[in-house]
Each structure stands twice: as structure tokens, then as C-alpha cells.
Structure 1
Amino acid sequence: MGEPPVAETAVDPTAADQTAADVIVVGAGPAGSATAYHLARTGLDVLLLEKTAFPREKVCGDGLTPRAVKELIAMGIDISEEAGWLRNRGLRVISGGRQMLLDWPDLASYPDFGLVRRRDDFDERLARAAEKAGARLFERCNVSGPVRDDRTGRITGVEAHLGEDKRRVTFRAPLVVAADGNSSRLSLAMGLHRDARRPMAVAVRTYFTSARSDDDYLESWFELHDRRDGQERLLPGYGWIFGMGDGTANVGLGAIKPSSSGRASSPGKEPDWREVLRAWTAGMPAEYGFTPDTMTAPIRGAALPMAFNRQPHYARGLLLVGDAGGMVNPFNGEGIAYAMESGRIAADVISGALIRRTPAQREQALQRYPRVLKETYGGYYTLGRAFAHLISQPKIMRLATQRGLNHPGAMRFLLKLLANLTDPRGGDAVDRVINGLTKVTPRA
């Protein structure tokens, strides 16, 4: 069923021909695997270095919007039901005691359906697709730091510990892609730090055995509360229930983190997010079956770096993709689509740069990468930062949760805005309004 596994190739990773490449990609999550896939398809020699071994756990809602589906199709992934993918038609939004079904919009640019698949299996599918395209995948390859040119400071490779015996290996390439997630140790080692003024979010999730497993819609609840010190605070975020089609449901929440240094979040002590999730699920309808006895996995959490919170996205031979570059959508916390899209964009820029004849020409071409990202997402992410700031105000969040579902037209507008699903050319009036807003908004 689905893509056959790619057999591991017996290679000597200490041999010179195995440690040199055109491009090194650090991290085989969606961003890294997409980058490696699209680079390999152009005929470039690509090393894809993953610190763990597949399958491996990642905190995620396991739900994919039509933006992510489009990127899967571009990678040639078999997304059929027979290959284990579960389709969904849109969102069921629940707030203020009401609910509304919002179908994914019918657009020329994107499919009209989303997908669900467990993240541990999902990531491996993408990594194997990159491998099948020609990328050389090394699992259990923990990158410890960059190799730099002493004169220019430019990255020329990475140091890593490989395999069960943690052999020290030096990999070399003229370009390196950091796809190593939110913490991005490689970016930090190259002096690229997060911008504390940009919003950060958090996600926590678990799995329950539940009758909610088979559902044509992803379910979102817009009333999360932090109950501490005898007070009840409405949180800027939402809870989700994504049926997995296998008798279980992925149940979690995403919320903007409080911050005293950033404008996007209100100051204050951070809630215990696991307790917030426990309290929320304990108050769900009994027929959902969310009890401690039906929980099938521990509650796990992860940070969501949003709205370009690490820049520049290219410097001294290093390109940032996905969470390493803070690509998460600040409107809804979606990361996978933007991870895969940024990987494709990076691969396009790299492949175009490496065919240039001189180092100066190649460098000029590589400098396009941050500009293309800002042209693609900059205005939208600026709007998203303003949105994150607004919903961090309790009065505004309360008004939105109490009255939002009274206006179906406004909710359909919000679905397109929050999910970033519009046709860039033509489209309906909503598309033109949203596209116009993103074009006139500063691309920071």
C-alpha cells in the first residue's frame, strides 16, 4: 500500500565521495525533505542529514490544509485513501455554543480537500521521496556545528556524529540549508538568532480512542481557558480534534505564548499548557470519549516560531527553511505547508544560483531567496502579527468567540484569510480583498 520503502544503501560515510556534495540539508522534516527532493530532481548532489531514525515522533495536529496537499502532489506523493491518507472537506468551527461547517474553498490554485496522517509516518514518506529522487539520506546523523572558511566566515560544511557509535564525520558543500527546526542550532552557531518581537505560539497534543475518529471535517474549538488562582482567563488560541480514521483522534491546542518582550502577546506568567488541555478535554461532551482511560499517548508540546522570527533567511552560504526561519503562519499556527513551500522556493533559488559561472554571480542569485520569501509571505505575515496582537487582548478574543459564528459570510472570509487560501489572479471578491491587503501591507 502506498510508496514502497527505499532500501538502505550500504555506504562508507567516511569515504570522501560520500561526504562531499553540492548542497547539504540539515534536518529531514517536511522543510528539509522538500528541499532535498526538489534539489535532487534538478540533478544536484544532495546530502540530507537527519539526527534521529525513522519513524520518529513529532508534535503536530496531523491535519493538512489544501496548501500542504498541493506541495505533496508536487513531490509526487501518493495521497490516495489506499495509501493511508484520510481526506477532509473543511473545518467545523465551534464557539459560543454554536457550530458552523466551513468547506475548503473551491479554487483554481489549490485542491478543495485537506488530509490527515500521523506525523511520524508522514515525515518518513517525505524523506523517502527525497531519497528516491536521488538525495543521499543519512539517519542518526547529529550535526554538531558548521564548518566555516577562516577568511570569509562562510559556511562550507558541517561537523556531525554519525550512527550508533557516533563517529565524527565532516560533510562539505558550498551551500548548506538549515532545516533543523525551531531551535536551529546550526543557525545559532552562524549568529542568526530569533527576533523576540515576533510572536511565538505553543502546541500540545495527545491521542484518544474515540468515536470522533471518522470525520469529514477538522474540528476547531475557539474557547480555551486558563484557570489559575481562582480566575478564568480566555486564551488566544483554539483547540482541535482531528479524527485519524483508525479509531483514534488527535486532540490538542495551539495558543500564542505570553511575552513581556514582544508586542504580539500579552505579558504574564505562561499557563501550564498540558493542564489547559486536560481541563478542556475533561469538559468535552461525554460522547467524545475523552477520558484518562482512553488516552493512548502522553501529552507532548512544541514551540511554533511564527512570522519570520529568525532572519536573514540567507547569509554566508546558509539558507533557512521551515521552522528554522520562523515560517509558521501567525494566523493559524500552520507550519507544514510553509515548511514545504519554503523548501521548494529555496531549491529553486539554489539550482538557479549554482549554474552561474562566477562566485559573484552565484552570490547575487542566492541573495534573491530572502526577497522571494518576503514577496511571497511578507505582507501576509505582517497582517498575521497584527492579528496575533489583537486576539491576545482578552476583550477582543471574547467578542470574537461569542459573536463570530453569527456572521457566516464573515466566517467564510476568515477561513480564506486564516488559511491563506486565495487565487492570486482572478478569484472572487474575497480573494481580491485579501490579496489587495497583503500587497499594500509592509513586507517586514
Structure 2
Amino acid sequence: MVGAGPAGSATACHLARAGLDVLLLDKAAFPRDKVCGDGLTPRAVRELITLGVDVDRPGWTRNRGVRLVAAGRSLDVPWPDGTAFPCFGLQRTRHDLDEILVRHAVAGGAVLRERTKVTGPLLDDRTGRVVGVATDGGVHEARLVVAADGASSRLAVSLGLHPRRDRPVGVAVRRYFRSPRHDDAMLECHLDVVPAGYGWVFGMGDGTCNVGVALLNRAHGDPRHLMRSWLETLPPAWGLTCDNATGPARGAAIPMGFARRPHYYPGLLLVGDSGGMANPMNGEGIAYALGSARVAADVIVQALARPTPSQRERVLYTYPQALRSTLGGPFTLGRWFVNAIEHPWIMRLAARQGIAHPPLMRAAIHILGNLTDPTSPALIDRLAQTLTRLTPAP
């Protein structure tokens, strides 16, 4: 397992619990920080609960939904209730979250090696199959390797798996501020900051807010400049000024909509950001990192239970299709939506009309945020399933 972020740690945890020997490698030492909005939707919460993470322990801050702000108005959209998802989201810094997940994987039986830099894949000279990895401390042979090394995924690139030019790659910048809004129960998103993007204010419950700007297409400008300009428009009482910042602004790329493919190379599976698995609609990545980890682990367990190499390989080649079946429709819908709102007048119209029509906005958030329940008879859920069936997987 190369990379011990949410995708790598979750995959390692699932596999170790299934009785497999798992080695988890990361170039950093934990705890360590990552650029993120730190807001977890109910989809992410469900994956954490499936992993057995205790989200009721101190340190987790709950949110009730999303507050959308545009054209001088705001609308609170609660998370769906009575569905396949929990009716709440969470906030937790990546500094804490990633360590919780990696220690959870170790408790489940995985072996962690920190401060270990992977320098490249080991290949079978005869077949070209990945049979392990080389590190700055030696080599590690393995029946399978999982690339969970983030958006840049040097391991994938070394095998010729480059990001696709026809997939969106966004960018986000975030900064922490001391603020009286730290205990707000809604994830606040400002929709009129930039076309195909938004600004956010997420209360962390510890006296600080995570504040940032996400561009769902990085061609739309400099997010640091946009964030500075946007912060100047916010009420002074919120305290989102340089004097109240607890650290510098930091940025990161957001690979979206299966930005790198194929997700299976002989002997190697891609999970999370290494496979470009953020939702194009909103840039959400953690839920899909955790979800792809679960799908990958299920395929791996099934494959390694087969008696012959050819049978194992046939199962492994089903992994990309399993991902497309789960995420392909929602990701394509998200790409179409973002392509539309890249036009400023469409973005303004969508934001103003959505804020003015709460049922319409609730439906849009539930469908495009991939929070609908396929087993529910509710109109929104039936509509989402119809759209997903009609939408070709990417």
C-alpha cells in the first residue's frame, strides 16, 4: 500500500481485517497535515462507520447540512434524513483524521512504515507486471500493490498512467482563522465567488474556521487572489483577517471525475486521488477515497481467493468496471453541471434561482452531491436513479 492517506489507510484496514498481510508505506511521519476543507458529508461518515471508526468520541464536530449563499441571500439545506446515509456530517482536521485512520488500519492488523519513500515499482522482467515497490530503504515484493499516493501519484506516472486531458482538475486554497463562527452547525458555501467554484467557511468547533476557495476548473484564475478578495467582502465580525490567521494559506490540486485511468494496471490498483476520484460537482474527495478503498479491497479479497493466476487476474480486471458502476453516473452528471456553470451568466442564474426556490436547490444538492438513496421511493431519489441510468459512465 503506497500512501497512508484516507484511501490507503482505509484499503489497508479492509484488507487486514480480511486476513491478508498488508504493508502500508508513507513518506511522512504521523501526524501530518494535508490541504483540505475538512468537511465530511454523510457519504464520508457512512464509510467511516463501516470502517468501525467511533465518530461519537470527542474531537469530532457534527454539521447538519449546507448553507448556500448567493445574491445577498442564504438557504440552509439539511442533509437527507431517513436514507441510506447518516443524517449528519462531520468536521475534523486532516492532521487528526489521517492519523486516526492510519492507526485504525494498524489496529486492524496492517504494518505501517513511516518515513519510507517509494522510488518506483518492481516489475516482472518477463510479463511487465508490478510485483512490488522499491523504496529508499530497500525493496518490498507483493502479490498486489495499491497506489494511494495522491493527486501526483508518482507511482502511476512511472508506469505511464498520466492524468487525462479531457477530465477536470480543480484547485483549492484554504487557511485557518480564529473566529466566533467556529461552532456553526452548517457548512457554509458562497456560490458567487467565481464561476465553477465556491468559497467556504467551515467551523471546526475548536475556536477556528477552515476557510477557502475551490475552483472546479483551475483555468478560472488564481485561487489565492480570489480568496483574498472574497474575504474582504465578509463581515468584519467574523474575524477572517490576517491577524486572526493561525497559519499560512495552502493550496492543492483536485483531480476529478476519474482523471487518471485505467484504474487497474497488471499488479497495481489505483484508489482515491491517485485515480482522480473527486466529485466534479463540488471537489469532494474523502468520501470517494474511502469508497474506492472499500471497492478495491472487496475485489482484491475476491481475486486472491481464486486458485489460479489467470482466475485472479480476471477478477482484478473487474475493478475499473466496479468503480464505474458505483461512481460513473454521478461523476458524469457533475462534469456536465460544472461545464454549464463555467459560463458566468449561467452560474449567476443558477445560484439566484436556486436560492429563490428551496425545493429545487435541495434536489440539486442531493442529486449532484451523490446523496440520494437508490432504495428510497422519494421523488428526488427516483429522479436521481433515472438520471444515473441515462448517464453514460465515463
Q: Give the shorter-chain TM-score range.
A: over 0.9
Which deviates more, 250-259 or 198-207? 250-259
Q: What is the alpha-carbon distance in structure 2 between the residues aligned to residue 300 and residue 32 of structure 1?
A: 23
| Alignment-mate amino acid for residue 175 of structure 1 | L
Structure 1 CA distance for aligned equivalents of residues 232 and 112 of structure 2? 43
1:118 is matched with which residue: 61, 68, 93? 93
Q: Match for residue 165 of structure 1?
A: none
- Contact kept? 1:182, 1:304, Cα under 8 Å: yes
200, 204, 208: which one pairs with 2:177? 208
User: Any conservation in 2 of the 1:156–1:176 contact (CA below 8 Å)?
Assistant: yes
1:56 corresponding residue in structure 2: 32
Report whether the alignment pairs 1:151 with 2:126. Answer: yes
How do residues 63-82 of structure 1 correspond to structure 2 at under 5 angstroms?
63-80=39-56, 82=57
Q: 1:98 aligns with which of 52, 60, 73?
A: 73
Task: State the alpha-carbon separation in 1 of the partners of residues 37 and 149 from structure 2.
Answer: 19
Percent identity reads 56
Instruction: Please list the CA deviations of residues 391-413 of structure 1 after superposition, one character each: whole Å capped at 9, or x if unmatched.
Output: 11122112122332011110110
AA aligned to 1:78 is D
Note if contact 1:52-1:141 (Cα within 8 Å) is conserved in structure 2.
yes
Matched, 1:363 2:313: yes
Higher Rg: 1
State the SS of the aligned residue for 1:141. coil
| TM-fit CA distance, 1:258 | 4.5
Q: Structure 2 stretches of 5 or more lacking a match?
A: none
User: Quick one: which of 176, 179, 183 aligns to 2:148?
Assistant: 179
| Aligned amino acid, residue 294 of structure 2 | R
In the alignment, structure 1 residue 26 sits paired with structure 2 residue 2: yes
CA distance in 2, matches of 1:429, 1:404: 18
Change (3 A) 1:313 1:107: farther
What is the rounded CA distance, in whole Å, between the counterparts of 1:420 and 1:253 in structure 2?
Answer: 21
Residue 292 of structure 2 is matched in structure 1 by: 342
388, 395, 398: which one aligns with 2:348:
398
Given that 2:330 and 2:368 are in contact with CA atoms closer than 8 Å, whether structure 1 keeps it comes out as no
CA deviation after TM superposition for structure 1 residue 32, in Å: 0.3
Which position in structure 1 is the counterpart of 2:330?
A: 380
For structure 1, list consecutive stretches of 5 or more residues without a partner in the other structure: 1-24, 162-167, 225-233, 260-269
Q: Distance in 1 between matches of 2:82 and 2:253?
A: 31
Give the superposed CA RMSD.
1.0
Deviations 1:302-347 (A, max 9, x none): 0000000111100111100000001000111100000000001100
Q: Which residue of 2 aligns with 1:131?
A: 106
On the 8 A contact 2:10/2:105 being kept in 1, the answer is yes
1:26·1:49 contact (CA, 8 Å) conserved in 2? yes
Q: Secondary structure at the residue paired with 1:26?
A: coil
Q: Secondary structure at the match of 2:117?
A: strand
Map of 2:197 onto structure 1: 237
Query: Does residue 433 of the first structure (1) align with residue 383 of the second (2)?
Result: yes
Distance 1:316 1:388, change over 3 A: same
1:285 aligns with 2:218: no
Question: TM (normalized to structure 2)?
Answer: 0.98
Structure 1 residue 59: deviation in Å? 0.4
User: CA deviation digits over 1:189-214, x for unaligned, max 9?
Assistant: 11111101111111100011100001
The answer to whether structure 1 residue 190 and structure 2 residue 136 are counterparts is: no
One-letter identity of the residue aligned with 2:39: G
2:248 equivalent in structure 1: 298
Distance 1:219 1:247 in 2: 16
Deviations 1:205-254 (A, max 9, x none): 00111000011111111111xxxxxxxxx432111101111111000111
Distance 1:400 1:236 in 2: 11
C-alpha displacement of 1:379: 1.5
Q: Which residue of 2 aligns with 1:7?
A: none
Matched with 2:188 is 219
Structure 1 ranges of 4+ moved more than 3 A: none
Distance between the aligned counterparts of 1:291 and 1:197, measured in 2? Answer: 38
* Secondary structure, counterpart of 2:12 in structure 1: helix
Which deviates more, 209-218 or 380-389? 380-389
Q: Deviations over 1:47-85 (max 9, x none)?
A: 0101100111100011000000001111111111x4310
| Equivalent position amino acid for 2:129 in 1 | R
Matched, 1:410 2:379: no
Q: Shift in Å at residue 388 of structure 1?
A: 1.4
Residue of structure 2 aligned with 1:255, choices 212, 215, 226 = 215
What is the CA–CA distance in structure 1 between the aligned matches of 2:211 and 2:104, rounded to whole Å?
Answer: 28
Q: How many residues align?
A: 394
Give 1:426 shift: 2.7
